[in-house]
Amino acid sequence: MPAPDPRPVLDPAAPDRLALGEASRLLGVDPDTLRRWADEGRVPAFTTPGGHRRFERHALEGLIVARRTGPHGALAGVGATADRLSAAYRRRYGARRTAGPDPRDTVPAATHDAFRTLGRRLVEALVRHADATGADRAHAEREAVGLAAELGARTATAGVPLADGVAMVIAARRPLLAELRAIARRPGVDAGAVADLYDTATGLLDRILLAFVEAHGGRTP
């Protein structure tokens, strides 16, 4: 059997072959995400002699359709992705409050890194919950509730008042819900599917707040 040809696949000039940047804009994902999808074989890609990736438009359009008709109740079903939701969350939550004190300022400086790590893990679990169905969603929910409880206990130990801790949890839920509302306003999106996703996310966020309060109340600084 002849050895596989190591040379890159030629890139015949054709309007239906898109470069990485064009293809990622068409899909609405980051170029790094599309590059990873190509490496994993989720999206067919061609390589030019110069080492540049090219993507067939019809394959990308098929992926768009699959995402918009994906599992009901998950991000794929409303034409969204976990990467974009995470990026939007970081952008919204990173903005400082313009009026009144920021409750995050009550966290002792020595514990900032530990709280950031816990918060990041909690957000990741929330996004996975929104992007999954069935057993995967249930697993993400258990993880999120457990992290919220751990965060509540650590907040109490650090001497952060319960009112400030609750304010931080409420502030942390707003970016996720705001992004879901933004998704609902996009043309062609199934508003009913987004509403179901919003209700599911709201339910989990309520359970997270309860777990945080219970864990905080059970500890004394």
Mean pLDDT of 90-97: 66
User: Closest by alpha carbon to 140, among 80, 207, 72?
Assistant: 207
- Relative orientation angle of helices 82-94 and 162-184, to the nearest 10 degrees: 130
Fold of 75-217: Globin-like (1.10.490)
Residues of the chain with CATH 1.10.490: 75-217
pLDDT, tens only, 109-168: 777 788 888 888 888 888 888 888 777 888 889 999 999 999 999 889 888 889 888 888
**Least confident interval from 4-8, 91-95, 168-172:** 4-8
pLDDT of residue 142: 92
CATH 1.10.1660.10 fits 17-68, yes or no: yes
pLDDT, tens only, 23-57: 888 776 678 778 877 887 778 888 888 888 899 88
Helix (H) or strand (E) holding 150: helix 134-157
Is the separation of the CB atoms in 35 and 21 below 8 Å? no
pTM for the structure as a whole: 0.60
pLDDT higher than 50, residue 69? no
pLDDT of residue 148: 92
Sheet holding 46-47, edge to edge: 17-19, 53-56, 46-47
By DSSP bridging, strand 46-47 and strand 17-19 are unpaired
Query: What is the dihedral angle through the alpha carbons of 174, 177, 180, 182, rounded to the nearest 10 degrees?
Result: -50
Angstrom distance (rounded) from CA 104 to CA 108: 9
The mean predicted confidence, pLDDT, of the chain is: 77
> What tokens were used for 142?
């258990």
Residues of the chain with CATH 1.10.1660.10: 17-68
Place 209 in a pLDDT band, splitting at 50, 70 and 90: very high
> What tokens were used for 54?
């090219």
Between 104 and 59, the higher pLDDT residue: 59
pLDDT of residue 215: 94
